[in-house]
């Protein structure tokens, strides 16, 4: 996520446990949220993603 132009990864906390990724924090737009979830899902070894991101500050 840190290398993606759309996602401001410094505002996102990423926790992983047994292939489950939990995303927490705030993003500025729905598009940024969708991209962060997509990137997490595309990561090797990830079996599911729990999206707890909020849009806006």
The mean per-residue pLDDT over the stretch 51-57 comes to 89
* pLDDT over 60 (residue 2): no
Which pLDDT tens digit goes with each residue over 12-41? 899 999 999 999 999 889 999 999 999 999
Identify whether the C-beta of residue 50 lies closer than 8 Å to the C-beta of residue 21. Answer: yes
* pLDDT over 90 (residue 11): no
Identify whether the C-beta of residue 33 lies closer than 8 Å to the C-beta of residue 55. Answer: yes
DSSP output for 2-49? TT-SS--GGGEEEEEETTEEEEEEEESSHHHHHHHHHHHHTSTT--EE
CA atoms of 8 and 55, how far apart (whole Å): 12
pLDDT at 5: 57
pLDDT at 12: 87
Q: Give me the residues paired with residue 48 across strands.
A: 20
pLDDT at 4: 55
């Amino acid at each position: 996520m840190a290398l993606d132009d759309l996602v401001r990864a410094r505002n996102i906390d990423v926790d992983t446990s047994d292939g489950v990724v939990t995303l927490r924090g705030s993003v500025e737009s729905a598009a940024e949220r969708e991209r962060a979830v997509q990137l997490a899902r595309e990561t090797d070894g990830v079996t599911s993603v729990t999206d707890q991101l909020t849009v806006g500050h």
